[in-house]
C-alpha cells in the first residue's frame, strides 16, 4: 500500500538537508514489512528491509533520509509492502520533517 502526503509552499528546489520520516504501523508480524519513501520526482529511499527475525507487531520508528536529490514540494508517499501473505495490518500514521 502507498500512503500519500502533499507538500506545498515549501522552499523552491531540492531539499538542502536530511528528511526525517516517522512511521506508526500495526501488523501481525512486522518482520514481513518493507518500507520505502517515494519522493515527488519518483526517487525511492529504502527505509526498512523485511527481517523474518523481527517478530514484533508494531513499528514506531523514525528514519533519517538524505533526500537532497528530491524537491520538497509535491506528493511524497510511504510505501509499505508485506513480502509474505496471510497477515493483516494498517498504517496508523506517518509524517515527514524537513
* CA gap 51, 44 in Å, rounded: 19
Span 30-53, average pLDDT: 96
Output b/e per residue, 74-87; b: 16+ Cβ within 10 A: eebbbbbebeeeee
Strand order in the sheet with 33-38: 2-7, 74-82, 33-38, 44-48
DSSP state of 54: -
Query: Could you give phi then psi for residue 25, rounded to 5 degrees?
Result: -130, 135
pLDDT digits (tens, 9 = 90+) for 57-70: 999 999 999 999 99
pLDDT tens digit string along 9-35? 877 888 878 899 999 999 999 999 999
Q: Is the pTM of this model over 0.95?
A: no
- Domains of the chain, each with CATH number or no CATH: 2-97 (2.60.120.260)
Amino acid at each position: 500500500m502507498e500512503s500519500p502526503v502533499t507538500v506545498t509552499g515549501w522552499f523552491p528546489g531540492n531539499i538542502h538537508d536530511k528528511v526525517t520520516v516517522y512511521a506508526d504501523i500495526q501488523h501481525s508480524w512486522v518482520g514481513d514489512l518493507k518500507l520505502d519513501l517515494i519522493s515527488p520526482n519518483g526517487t525511492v529511499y529504502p527505509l526498512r528491509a523485511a527481517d523474518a527475525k523481527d517478530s514484533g507487531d508494531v513499528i514506531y520508528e523514525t528514519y533519517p533520509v538524505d533526500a537532497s536529490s528530491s524537491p520538497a514540494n509535491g506528493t511524497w508517499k510511504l510505501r509499505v509492502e508485506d513480502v509474505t501473505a496471510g497477515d493483516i495490518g494498517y498504517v496508523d500514521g506517518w509524517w515527514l520533517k524537513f
